[in-house]
A and B are shown apart, each in its own frame.
Chain A
Amino acid sequence: MALQSLDIARRSATTTPAPGVRETAKVAKLIDVSTCIGCKACQVACMEWNDLRDEVGSCAGVYDNPVDLTAKSWTVMRYAEVEEKGRLEWLIRKDGCMHCADPGCLKACPAPGAIVQYANGIVDFHQENCIGCGYCVTGCPFNIPRLSKEDSKAYKCSLCSDRVAVGQAPACVKTCPTGAIQFGSKEQMKDVADKRIKDLKERGYAQAGLYDPPGVGGTHVMYVLHHADRPELYQGLPNDPSISPLVSLWKGFAKPLATLALAGVALGSLFHYVTKGPNEVSKELENELEKEDAK
């Protein structure tokens, strides 16, 4: 399902060229971890806008709830208690799809049009095309997509592509009470981040910086981190994420081979048909099988 106001730049398992007439700006969501109070309003806004209601779970001995992303929880707050040199920090990170410029999920996806990337940078799942193979899960360097047990389709944050398509900010951005989540063009968001990083450095966070990892071509969801040198402190944010070599293998080196092999099989079948005619089951065998079934 394409949104009429959003051009699709890339489409999984598709070779049709992308449209290119519109001048679409690249968008980005900036999550300033240093001003996030972990209130989960973003989680609630996400559920409300997207008509999602996850299970009422249980307490696992931490503040995190739901404790992990699910097909119905597209964003969750992750709380990390970090103590160094006697100073305690409670690092709270909103986790969800990073909307990579070079999306591993899309690359890995074998189902035509199940994953698309819009010209504005948003990576979106079109579940009606999803075959539930789970390759996107393998392909994601951030461990984001989740397969639903209800319909065997993969889900994740859409960056509210429907809202963005009509000039609205994503629901989480709209609801964030402290302004820790902001939305705009990627360039704009980098400027906002610069100011925040300057402020943090003045407050003694010498390693404050922007998380926009180049290993995935940069992301359309970026973090301002107090400790940009150690993203892993924030509940395992990957230090230098890149697309799994398996995906590269499948899409890069192996895919032509696989295609070749498939083509070979097809070709072989054709030759077989042409030379030997259609396969026929012998009458004896058929009778035998029917007997078996009758039992």
Chain B
Amino acid sequence: MTNHWVDLKNSDLVIVMGGNAAEAHPCGFKWVIEAKKDRKAKLIVVDPRFTRSAAVSDFYAPIRPGSDIAFLGGVINYLLAKDKIHHDYVKHYTNAAFLIDEGFRFADGFFSGYNAEKRSYAKDTWKYQLDKDGYAMVDPTLENPRCVFQLMKQHYSRYTPELVSKTTGTPQDAFLKICEMIAETAAPNKTMTICYALGWTEHTVGSQNIRTMAMIQLLLGNMGMAGGGINALRGHANVQGITDMCLYSEVLPGYLSAPTDADVDRKTYLEKRTPKALRPNQMNFPQNFPKWFTSLQKAWYGNAATEENGYGYDWLPKKDGAYDVMALFERMHQGKMNGFFCQGFNPLASVANKRKVGDALAKLKYLVIIDPLATDTSEFWKNHGELNEVDPAKIPTEVFRLPANLFAEQTGSFTNSGRVIQWHWKAADGPGESRGDIEIMAGLFLKLKAMYAKDGGKLPEPILNLTWPYRIPAKPAPEELLMEISGKALGDVFDPKDKAKVIVPAGQQVAGFAQLRDDGSTACGNWIYGGCWSQAGNLTARRDNADPTGLGQTLNWGFAWPANRRILYNRASCDLSGKPWDPQRTVLKWTGKAWGGNDIPDMRPDAAPEEGVMPFIMTPEGVARLFAPALAEGPFPEHYEPFETPLDKNPFHPGNPKATSNPAARVFKGDMDSFGTAKDFPYVATTYRLVEHFHYWTKHSKLNAITQPEQFVEIGEDLAKEKGIAAGDKVKVRSNRGFIKAVAVVTKRIKTLDVDGRKVHTVGIPIHWGFKGVTKPGFITNTLTPFVGDANSQTPEYKAFLVNIEKA
């Protein structure tokens, strides 16, 4: 979330799309209800199903799964055509005025630079025109045909209400009604917030779904405002924390991009990641990259990391390819992996195409499960009838289960969707021989280290040199770890303006990432968490909910990264002169000498408005990007069909079959054949969570099992009639990858949609069942889903694929 949970109450219009907040985030959803009760806010829900969020909405519209960009692109077109945008904001705070390379094009579904063979783009035309000083050229009148504003206008002029409705199945009047409601928040003192979740991310165009809404929020001037922003509701209690700590191979902690084979040394690595400002006077905050990275290296390798050895740069793994979750299982499936440590993860149930995942696991020599529960994955080798049809005799994989504690059996921190890190205290001891995750990892590490020390081996340094300063090496305390993550001075840290003045004496905790250095004098395990455990102590343990602002900012409750800032880009809540766009909801204001108000400024505190330092400090241009070249499939989001589409063409590019689905999405060899077509699988399927359950975990809990005991799928009344299915009947749902059987829920809440001249039925499939647990045993829903993901994040397309359904 750019904003935070409580801030939802400050909104005038809440849109729930690409998510189902009431159902997947019932506790946070209370703030939407507050906005409705106390601010008279309106709630819009756009979803393939009339969800429990829709049940309390003011307006609902159906949409075909996988057509969100068509819908949102249509909103952009509406706002631009009706001139319902926040002009000053767009002009000054976005890259609308920036001139784009003359070679940049979009035609026939492709942007310039497409390589069909590699399924990727050369981005050499996706860039700003630069002047002689290397700064981006701008046209403040927004009239230059090469400026972002004009290119964007042209790009989305194709997204007419007719074409939107034809593609999405959303009735045109409902679409226009929503456009009208959204457009009202272009007023500087009105804000809209968007609550989205995996309903947007789990598509082959997932990142672009989100980006399209980000563009809308920029056009409306809703970023940085109280009650505004782009709000990703994280689906797992601490998944924000996991992302921040970068438990992914693509990035290092704090979203620092991980080194690859091409980054031959530290210098090359840093140069590529330390941008130069693209406009004069901008903060260009990523220029501090070397400080964050060096401090991370010092946190890992301590005294062994020296200037001479590049602070241990050579000890870091260098990626030679993709290592996202699908790439991982692809390697495993190809037999290129021997072992797999699976900690707090149930991939047999949660990764797409269960059969492929099961086959992949069967090729391992060993599998280690670190989990509080006996997961489905831990029994992937066991025959559970048609729920898991395998022959154990043919599976050589040795499986080890290491029982771990649950979160409530451990002390530590949680980071919620609103980036607020909150300390929590152990509530109970774990049962039996279970151990905390930290203890298990420490045990493994110490053993490995002893083996390397004794036996040597290939490149032992990364293990032998790892700093391990904990009082009890086999059991590091969570407190010690958070202190390490937050950062401390190893030597004295001096004031950059006065080299004689020590601002942090050696040995003390840093107050924040601004005190980190790239000379080895500081260590910090994750720069964005910098200062969460300062000399003042554990700030994440604070529980002062006093709210003098009335906005729910509660700056003394826990610690929000970065720098305890509650609303990101909050400088954009003020006009150029530093006056809040809406004085009723002042987040920040220029006091004459400094930025003050009700949040930690997302701005140099003494940057006077006349200096022209723009609010989006994390871009080298200082402004937000309507045109964003970082994305894999194009700088402007474009509608592409899901890989399994009920249509025979992309309604936006009927003449170009290669532009039917995301042209830049990665498809592994062999997986193309696993996709089904509408001929055999005529119905659109989408998967989702129910409020009664939490992923594949609560099927082990009796209370949850009582409230939703048995697997079901949802279909509309039309399809039910066509297929002779009644509510309560057992049905079989098949995709090209397998089948599941479940009880049919027949509902008015899923409508047949008119899409491109045909009727499209949707089958809704909740995810929570499996062959382990106390619910009625069920099929693993991901038996059905396709093994293809978003072109940027590689998140699988769980939300839009094709199935057939029949009475079982």
- A interface vs B, CB < 8 Å? 34-41, 43-44, 47-48, 53-63, 65-66, 73, 81, 83, 88-92, 177-180, 195-196, 199, 202-203
Q: Give chain B interface residues in 693-710, CB to chain A under 8 Å.
A: 702-710
Please measure, in the bound complex, the distance between the C-alpha atom of A35 and the C-alpha atom of B775, giving whole angstroms: 29
Note all chain B residues with C-beta closer than 8 A to A62: 727, 745
Whether, in the assembled complex, B333 has its beta carbon less than 8 Å from a beta carbon of chain A, the answer is no
Is B691 a contact partner of A40 (Cβ separation < 8 A)?
A: yes
Note all chain B residues with C-beta closer than 8 A to A178: 22, 26, 29-30, 33, 56
Please measure, in the bound complex, the distance between the C-alpha atom of A277 and the C-alpha atom of B708, giving whole angstroms: 66
Is A61 a contact partner of B29 (Cβ separation < 8 A)?
A: no
Besides A59-B709, A62-B727, 16 more A-B contacts (Cβ < 8 Å) are A37-B23, A37-B29, A37-B52, A39-B52, A56-B705, A59-B710, A60-B727, A60-B743, A63-B745, A65-B708, A65-B709, A66-B707, A88-B749, A90-B54, A92-B52, A179-B33
Is B728 a contact partner of A44 (Cβ separation < 8 A)?
A: no
Please measure, in the bound complex, the distance between the C-alpha atom of A199 and the C-alpha atom of B712, giving whole angstroms: 36
Given A61-B743, A61-B745, do A56 and B27 touch, yes or no (CB 8 Å)?
no
Is A90 a contact partner of B776 (Cβ separation < 8 A)?
A: no
Given A56-B702, A56-B774, A61-B744, do A37 and B749 touch, yes or no (CB 8 Å)?
no
Choice from B26, B705, B708, B775 contacting A37 with Cβ under 8 Å: B26
Please measure, in the bound complex, the distance between the C-alpha atom of A65 and the C-alpha atom of B692, giving whole angstroms: 10
Is B703 a contact partner of A39 (Cβ separation < 8 A)?
A: no
Note all chain B residues with C-beta closer than 8 A to A57: 706, 709-710
Is B743 a contact partner of A58 (Cβ separation < 8 A)?
A: yes
Whether, in the assembled complex, B801 has its beta carbon less than 8 Å from a beta carbon of chain A, the answer is no
Choice from A35, A41, A55, A177 contacting B706 with Cβ under 8 Å: A55
Is B40 a contact partner of A202 (Cβ separation < 8 A)?
A: yes
Is A44 a contact partner of B707 (Cβ separation < 8 A)?
A: yes
Interface string of B41-67 (1 = CB under 8 A from A): 000000000101111101010000000
Is B52 a contact partner of A58 (Cβ separation < 8 A)?
A: no
Please measure, in the bound complex, the distance between the C-alpha atom of A177 and the C-alpha atom of B726, giving whole angstroms: 33
Whether, in the assembled complex, B747 has its beta carbon less than 8 Å from a beta carbon of chain A, the answer is yes
Note all chain B residues with C-beta closer than 8 A to A34: 56
Whether, in the assembled complex, B746 has its beta carbon less than 8 Å from a beta carbon of chain A, the answer is yes
Note all chain B residues with C-beta closer than 8 A to A63: 708, 745
Is A36 a contact partner of B56 (Cβ separation < 8 A)?
A: yes
Choice from B30, B58, B60, B711 contacting A88 with Cβ under 8 Å: B60
Please measure, in the bound complex, the distance between the C-alpha atom of A202 and the C-alpha atom of B709, giving whole angstroms: 39
Choice from A38, A59, A66 contacting B745 with Cβ under 8 Å: A59
The 5 lowest CB-CB distance pairs between A and B, nearest first, are A61-B727, A61-B728, A37-B22, A59-B710, A90-B55
Note all chain B residues with C-beta closer than 8 A to A92: 52, 55
Is B748 a contact partner of A35 (Cβ separation < 8 A)?
A: no
Please measure, in the bound complex, the distance between the C-alpha atom of A180 and the C-alpha atom of B26, giving whole angstroms: 12
Whether, in the assembled complex, B729 has its beta carbon less than 8 Å from a beta carbon of chain A, the answer is yes
Distance between B730 CB and nearest chain A CB, rounded to angstroms: 10
Whether, in the assembled complex, B331 has its beta carbon less than 8 Å from a beta carbon of chain A, the answer is no
Whether, in the assembled complex, B153 has its beta carbon less than 8 Å from a beta carbon of chain A, the answer is no
Is A40 a contact partner of B707 (Cβ separation < 8 A)?
A: yes
Nearest B residue to A57 by beta-carbon distance? B709
Nearest A residue to B690 by beta-carbon distance? A63
Please measure, in the bound complex, the distance between the C-alpha atom of A58 and the C-alpha atom of B777, giving whole angstroms: 11
Note all chain B residues with C-beta closer than 8 A to A88: 50, 60, 748-749
Please measure, in the bound complex, the distance between the C-alpha atom of A171 and the C-alpha atom of B59, giving whole angstroms: 32
Is B55 a contact partner of A83 (Cβ separation < 8 A)?
A: no
Note all chain A residues with C-beta closer than 8 A to B747: 81
Whether, in the assembled complex, B37 has its beta carbon less than 8 Å from a beta carbon of chain A, the answer is yes
Is B748 a contact partner of A83 (Cβ separation < 8 A)?
A: yes
Q: Give chain B interface residues in 706-761, CB to chain A under 8 Å.
A: 706-712, 726-729, 743-749
Distance between A176 CB and nearest chain B CB, rounded to angstroms: 9
Is A59 a contact partner of B743 (Cβ separation < 8 A)?
A: yes
Instruction: List 20 interface pairs A-B (beta carbons < 8 Å), by A numbering.
Output: A37-B23, A37-B29, A37-B53, A37-B691, A39-B691, A40-B692, A43-B706, A44-B707, A47-B703, A53-B703, A56-B702, A58-B709, A59-B728, A60-B727, A61-B728, A61-B729, A177-B29, A178-B30, A178-B33, A196-B37
Note all chain B residues with C-beta closer than 8 A to A37: 22-23, 26, 29, 52-53, 55-56, 691
Choice from B27, B702, B727 contacting A177 with Cβ under 8 Å: B27
Note all chain A residues with C-beta closer than 8 A to B705: 56
Is A81 a contact partner of B749 (Cβ separation < 8 A)?
A: yes
Please measure, in the bound complex, the distance between the C-alpha atom of A56 and the C-alpha atom of B729, giving whole angstroms: 19
Is B707 a contact partner of A35 (Cβ separation < 8 A)?
A: no
Please measure, in the bound complex, the distance between the C-alpha atom of A41 and the C-alpha atom of B349, giving whole angstroms: 25
> Please, how many residues of chain B have a CB less than 8 angstroms from a CB on the other chain?
45
| Dominant SS among interface residues on chain A | loop
Note all chain B residues with C-beta closer than 8 A to A91: 55
Note all chain A residues with C-beta closer than 8 A to B37: 35, 195-196, 199
Is A56 a contact partner of B775 (Cβ separation < 8 A)?
A: yes
Please measure, in the bound complex, the distance between the C-alpha atom of A178 and the C-alpha atom of B9, giving whole angstroms: 12
Please measure, in the bound complex, the distance between the C-alpha atom of A202 and the C-alpha atom of B39, giving whole angstroms: 13
Given A56-B702, A81-B747, do A90 and B711 touch, yes or no (CB 8 Å)?
no
Is A59 a contact partner of B749 (Cβ separation < 8 A)?
A: no
Is A65 a contact partner of B29 (Cβ separation < 8 A)?
A: no
Distance between A75 CB and nearest chain B CB, rounded to angstroms: 11
Nearest B residue to A195 by beta-carbon distance? B37
Please measure, in the bound complex, the distance between the C-alpha atom of A36 and the C-alpha atom of B748, giving whole angstroms: 19
Please measure, in the bound complex, the distance between the C-alpha atom of A36 and the C-alpha atom of B691, giving whole angstroms: 13
Please measure, in the bound complex, the distance between the C-alpha atom of A38 and the C-alpha atom of B30, giving whole angstroms: 13
Choice from B22, B40, B711, B748 contacting A199 with Cβ under 8 Å: B40
Note all chain A residues with C-beta closer than 8 A to B709: 56-59, 65
Please measure, in the bound complex, the distance between the C-alpha atom of A34 and the C-alpha atom of B705, giving whole angstroms: 27
Distance between B700 CB and nearest chain A CB, rounded to angstroms: 12
Note all chain B residues with C-beta closer than 8 A to A202: 40
Please measure, in the bound complex, the distance between the C-alpha atom of A60 and the C-alpha atom of B776, giving whole angstroms: 13
Note all chain A residues with C-beta closer than 8 A to B23: 37, 39
Is B26 a contact partner of A39 (Cβ separation < 8 A)?
A: yes
Distance between A282 CB and nearest chain B CB, rounded to angstroms: 61
Nearest A residue to B691 by beta-carbon distance? A39
Note all chain A residues with C-beta closer than 8 A to B27: 177
Please measure, in the bound complex, the distance between the C-alpha atom of A66 and the C-alpha atom of B60, giving whole angstroms: 28
Note all chain A residues with C-beta closer than 8 A to B728: 59-61
Is B706 a contact partner of A54 (Cβ separation < 8 A)?
A: yes
Nearest B residue to A76 by beta-carbon distance? B707
Interface string of B14-46 (1 = CB under 8 A from A): 000000001100110110010011001000000
Name which of B36, B55, B707, B776 has the most chain A CB atoms within 10 A of its CB: B707
Distance between A90 CB and nearest chain B CB, rounded to angstroms: 4
Please measure, in the bound complex, the distance between the C-alpha atom of A40 and the C-alpha atom of B702, giving whole angstroms: 14
Note all chain B residues with C-beta closer than 8 A to A83: 748
Is A177 a contact partner of B30 (Cβ separation < 8 A)?
A: yes
Nearest A residue to B701 by beta-carbon distance? A44
Choice from B58, B707, B775 contacting A43 with Cβ under 8 Å: B707
Note all chain A residues with C-beta closer than 8 A to B36: 35, 199
Please measure, in the bound complex, the distance between the C-alpha atom of A38 and the C-alpha atom of B55, giving whole angstroms: 9
Please measure, in the bound complex, the distance between the C-alpha atom of A202 and the C-alpha atom of B37, giving whole angstroms: 11
Note all chain B residues with C-beta closer than 8 A to A43: 706-707
Note all chain B residues with C-beta closer than 8 A to A199: 36-37, 40
Distance between A190 CB and nearest chain B CB, rounded to angstroms: 17
Note all chain A residues with C-beta closer than 8 A to B706: 43, 47, 53-57, 65-66, 73
Distance between A199 CB and nearest chain B CB, rounded to angstroms: 7
Choice from B52, B703, B727 contacting A48 with Cβ under 8 Å: B703
Distance between A172 CB and nearest chain B CB, rounded to angstroms: 13
Nearest A residue to B22 by beta-carbon distance? A37
Note all chain B residues with C-beta closer than 8 A to A55: 706
Please measure, in the bound complex, the distance between the C-alpha atom of A196 and the C-alpha atom of B56, giving whole angstroms: 13
Please measure, in the bound complex, the distance between the C-alpha atom of A177 and the C-alpha atom of B25, giving whole angstroms: 10
Q: Give chain B interface residues in 351-368, CB to chain A under 8 Å.
A: none
Is A61 a contact partner of B691 (Cβ separation < 8 A)?
A: no
Please measure, in the bound complex, the distance between the C-alpha atom of A34 and the C-alpha atom of B37, giving whole angstroms: 11
Please measure, in the bound complex, the distance between the C-alpha atom of A240 and the C-alpha atom of B50, giving whole angstroms: 31
Distance between B458 CB and nearest chain A CB, rounded to angstroms: 52
Distance between B658 CB and nearest chain A CB, rounded to angstroms: 39
